[in-house]
Amino acid sequence: MTTLTLSRYLQQKLDLPGVTPELCELIRQTGDACHRISDAIAKGALAGVLGQAGSENVQGEEQKKLDIITNDLMIAATLGGGCVAGLASEEMDEILPVPDGMKEGRYLMLFDPLDGSSNIDVNISVGTIFSILERPDGQGPVTEQDFLQPGNQQVAAGYVVYGPSTLLVLTLGDGADGFTLDREQGVFYLTAPNLQVPKDTKEFAINMSNMRHWELNMQRYVRELLEGITGVREKDFNMRWVASMVADVHRIMTRGGIFMYPYDLKDPSKPGKLRLMYEANPMSFIMEQAGGASTTGRQRILDVTPTSLHQRVPVVMGSANEVERVTGYHLET
């Protein structure tokens, strides 16, 4: 049984370039928020937290009560904690700078407080995703432009899966490590050090109901997977789709696989469903740190230059050889 707590783990990482006591403190604050979120989710109907809130977020999606509760918990744990200059969230139209009179820190945090929220009312795993950037040098109030940095500038990223147990996976740019929450103590313990995603796989995750809307190269790739052992791939593939990115990607972090939410022509104004800043960037950073790969189908996600806070991107991530194949098919056209 491991005894390394998240706090002590962070202390040990202080030798790494770019890791500061302030960054470690911000991650501890985020861990506390996720512990509270885990409690709220576990109480479910008993706490009256399920169902719709009756509002919409900036992207026109209906907000659940828990979307708002979890967003508030993330803000409460971090905004006044002295480590951030501002926050941005999938659930907030605008950035949230540290209010006047409160201590400003050097970091910017972006998060999806409740990923996979369509699963919440049916008691299936959901998650929280966060991405931490350093505020660029500058004076005056923090601006949206300060947040618009490519994913390769992230100093840390993590996700938490609220499943049968609550798991945090974290990277500080030195590999990816997994922690399990001891709910009674409220402490995360290191339980899965140095996660490694196998290069090859026989498992894929995609919402197949969109197949007719994909580009032809994506249709070709998946059709070949479905041909099985007698087809060009000469092996049988298995499919899994939880519809919570954190849960689908966590399975891949554990045993390999490929996760795709590709570009589709259903709504040409949206280049994919997932959000670059809150979902694709942090998950790509973690995936690469575990030896996996992540692209839009045409470009490494971490190299995409963001143009707006809530922008969407196609996502292909997981076992490196499989991601390379999908990307190769896209680049042929």
Where along the sequence are the contacts to ligand AHM (CB under 6 A)?
A: 61, 90, 112, 115-118, 207, 243-245, 261, 273
Coil, helix or strand at residue 309? coil
174 within 8 A of 154, measured Cβ to Cβ: no
Phi, psi (degrees; rounded to nearest 5) at 268: -60, -15
Coil, helix or strand at residue 105? coil
Nearer to Mg ion, 25 or 112 (CB): 112
The residue type at 78: T
Q: Which stretch binds Mg ion (CB under 5 A): 104-112, 135-143, 208-216, 221-229?
A: 104-112
Q: Where are the beta strands (DSSP E) in the chain?
A: 52-56, 62-64, 84-89, 96-97, 107-115, 126-134, 156-162, 166-171, 176-182, 187-192, 203-205, 238-239, 258-261, 274-275, 293-295, 312-313, 315-318
| CB 127 to Mg ion: min, Å | 8
| CB 126 to ligand AHM: min, Å | 8
What residue has token string 């049916």?
A: 122
114: annotated binding-site residue?
yes
| CB 51 to Mg ion: min, Å | 18
273: annotated binding-site residue?
yes
Nearer to Mg ion, 19 or 34 (CB): 34
The residue type at 197: V
Nearer to ligand AHM, 146 or 279 (CB): 279
309: annotated binding-site residue?
no
Does 112 contact Mg ion by CB under 5 A? yes
Residue 244, binding choice from ligand AHM, Mg ion, none, Cβ under 5 to 8 Å by partner class: ligand AHM
Nearer to Mg ion, 247 or 320 (CB): 247
What residue has token string 């509270």?
A: 36
| CB 218 to ligand AHM: min, Å | 14
Does 115 contact Mg ion by CB under 5 A? yes
Q: How far is CA 62 from CA 55, 91, 242, 308, in A?
A: 6, 10, 20, 21
112: annotated binding-site residue?
yes
38: annotated binding-site residue?
no
| CB 116 to ligand AHM: min, Å | 4
Q: Both tokens of residue 155?
A: 């100093």
H/E stretch holding 251 reads: helix 245-255
Nearer to ligand AHM, 115 or 322 (CB): 115
Residue 288, binding choice from ligand AHM, Mg ion, none, Cβ under 5 to 8 Å by partner class: none
209: annotated binding-site residue?
no
Instruction: Output the CA torsion 322→327→332→333 (10° steps).
Output: 130
Binding site, annotated residues for Mg(2+)? 90, 112, 114-115, 279
Residues at the interface with Mg ion (CB under 5 A): 112, 115
Binding site, annotated residues? 90, 112, 114-118, 207, 273, 279
Binding site, annotated residues for substrate? 115-118, 207, 273
